[in-house]
Amino acid sequence: MRAGAGAYPGADSAAVVTAAAVDRIIARGEAHVWWWRCPERVDPADLALLETEEFRRALGMLAERDAAEFVRTRAGARRALGELLGIPPATARLGHRRCPGCGADDHGPPLLVRPALPLAISLSRTAGWGVFVVGAGLGIGVDAEALRPVRESLFAGSVLTAAERRHLEAMAPGPARHVAFHRVWTRKEAVVKAVGVGLVGTELDQLETHPDRDGPLRVTHHGIGSPTTWTVEDLRLSDHLAVALARAAGPAARGPVHLHPPTGP
Q: Give Cα 47 distance to the centre of its chain.
A: 21
Distance CA 105, CA 220 (A): 26
Mean pLDDT is lowest, of 5-9, 31-35, 216-220, 224-228, for 5-9
List, for residues 10-29, the tens digit of each pLDDT value.
444 433 446 777 888 988 99
CATH code at position 194: 3.90.470.20
Cross-strand pairs, 218: 231
Q: How many structural domains are present in the chain? A: 1
Give a yes or no: residue 261 inside a domain. no
Q: Give domain status of residue 1, yes or no.
A: no
Q: What is the average pLDDT score of the chain? A: 87
Domain that holds residue 211: 19-255
Q: What pLDDT shows up at residue 202?
A: 79
Can you tell me the distance from the alpha carbon of 175 to that of 183, in angstroms, rounded to the nearest whole number?
12
Q: What is the pLDDT of residue 11?
A: 45
Q: Is residue 217 part of a domain?
A: yes
pLDDT at position 105: 63
Q: How many helices and strands in the chain, by DSSP H and E?
A: 6, 10
Please give the residue that has the higher pLDDT: either 253 or 140. 140
Q: Is residue 6 part of a domain?
A: no
CB 98 within 8 A of CB 215: no
Regarding predicted confidence, which is higher, 251 or 83? 83
Residue 227 lies in a domain: yes
174-208 burial code (b ≥16 CB/10 A, e <16): eeebbebbbbbbbbbbbbbbbbbbbeeebebeebb
CB 74 within 8 A of CB 50: yes
pLDDT digits (tens, 9 = 90+) for 151-165: 888 877 789 999 999
Q: In the chain, pLDDT over 70 holds for what percent of residues?
A: 87
On whether residue 260 sits in a domain, the answer given is no
Digit-coded pLDDT (tens) for 178-229: 999 999 999 999 999 999 887 776 788 999 999 999 979 999 998 777 889 9
- Given a cut of 60, whether residue 59 has pLDDT beyond it is yes
Which pLDDT score is estimated for 3? Answer: 40
130 Ramachandran zone, left/alpha/beta (phi>0; psi -120 to 50): beta
Residue 34 resides in a domain:
yes
Q: Does a structural domain hold residue 66?
A: yes
- Please write the tens of the pLDDT for every residue from 83-127: 999 889 999 999 888 766 666 666 778 999 998 888 999 999 999
